[in-house]
Amino acid sequence: MKQNFGEGLKAFELARGCSQASMAVTNSMITFCRKMVQAEQELPQVRLAEFYRSIKLSKRSSTFRQFRMVGSNARQLYNHAYHLPCRLSALYECARLKEEVLEELVKAGRIHRFMTDAELKQTIKSYRPSPAGSRLNTG
């Protein structure tokens, strides 16, 4: 059956809308994490404790550590937000990468917004860094 031009255009518009929505969610998640890091930097300890209670987040949780890592590496993640998955767990894995490694994987099309966590972890695991260094951020 022959597709008409209007149907093809509609499919393109819907796909573009999905991509834009995914990027908006990714940017929102990165911004949320960045605000948490900003709170740590700017609030006195008493207010910081109130802040954590108000968002019902324990500093001992793995979720807290993920938020902190994503927020601490927000700039590099914003630079590639169009290509990154919008889940906290995926952003955390991307934030752990050195910026040049993340850039290389994105440019090669090996990281994309609709990949699963398992696919992302396998991509990172199979990446072969240059002999000069590790693929992970230490901070």
pLDDT in tens, 70-94: 999 999 999 999 999 999 999 999 9
* 21 part of a folded domain: yes
* 16 part of a folded domain: yes
Structure-token pair, residue 88 = 């906290």
What spatial distance separates the first Cα and last Cα of the chain, rounded to whole Å? 55
Closest CA to 91 of 105, 71, 110, 107: 71
The verdict on pTM exceeding 0.85 is no
What domain range is 47 assigned to? Answer: 5-126
Q: Does residue 73 contact residue 95 with C-beta atoms inside 8 Å?
A: yes
* 137 part of a folded domain: no
Predicted confidence at residue 6, as pLDDT, reads 75
- Domains contained in the chain, number: 1
* 48 part of a folded domain: yes
Predicted confidence at residue 137, as pLDDT, reads 64
* 135 part of a folded domain: no
The C-alpha atoms of residue 51 and residue 33 are separated, in whole angstroms, by 13
* 120 part of a folded domain: yes
At 24-61, the pLDDT tens digits run 999 999 999 999 999 999 999 999 999 999 989 898 99
Please spell the DSSP secondary structure of 62-95, one letter per residue. HHHHHHHHHHHTHHHHHTTGGGS-SSHHHHHHHH
* 47 part of a folded domain: yes
* 136 part of a folded domain: no
Predicted confidence at residue 116, as pLDDT, reads 94
For residue 90, CA distances in Å to 22, 24, 35 come to 13, 15, 19
